[in-house]
Amino acid sequence: MSSTPITRFEPGLICDFCNDPKITRDFHCKSFPFVVGIFNWGSNGDWAACDECAALIDADKWDALADRAVAGNPSLENSVTLAILATGSGLKSLLLELHRAFNANRIIRVVH
Ligand SMILES: [Zn+2]
């Protein structure tokens, strides 16, 4: 299993991909730095996901996940505008890159 059902419902906890407040899964992940151009960010531990995003992750549908993340993060467009200008890429490209890093740092637990 690469994720577990979320049993904790911390106030304000939302899907780390699309901001949906109805999170149902936790994807275990190592912490990692994420630096693209002047966009300097880091991910700290597990990622919470809603049903829809979890299904896209399980199905390796990263392009659809990035589309969903762009649609769910209208305010992100403003906060990363400088980074987008610096890298020449769009928000979707940045999120695709971020999700690639997330996937590379996922902790896949093998249950024997
Ligand atoms: Zn989601």
Q: What is the pLDDT of residues 6-61, one digit of tens each?
A: 655 567 789 999 999 999 999 999 999 988 777 778 999 999 999 999 999 999 99
DSSP letter (8 states) at residue 108: -
Whole-number Å distance, alpha carbon 88 to ligand 1 midpoint, is 26
Give the pLDDT confidence of 63-106 residue by residue, as tens digits. 999 999 988 887 776 665 655 655 556 778 888 989 999 999 99
Whole-number Å distance, alpha carbon 27 to ligand 1 midpoint, is 12
Whole-number Å distance, alpha carbon 18 to ligand 1 midpoint, is 4
Per-residue pLDDT at 1: 47
Whole-number Å distance, alpha carbon 96 to ligand 1 midpoint, is 14
Q: In the chain, what are the domain boundaries?
A: 3-104
User: Residue 64: is it exposed, middle or buried by C-beta count within 10 angstroms (0-12/13-18/19+)?
Assistant: middle
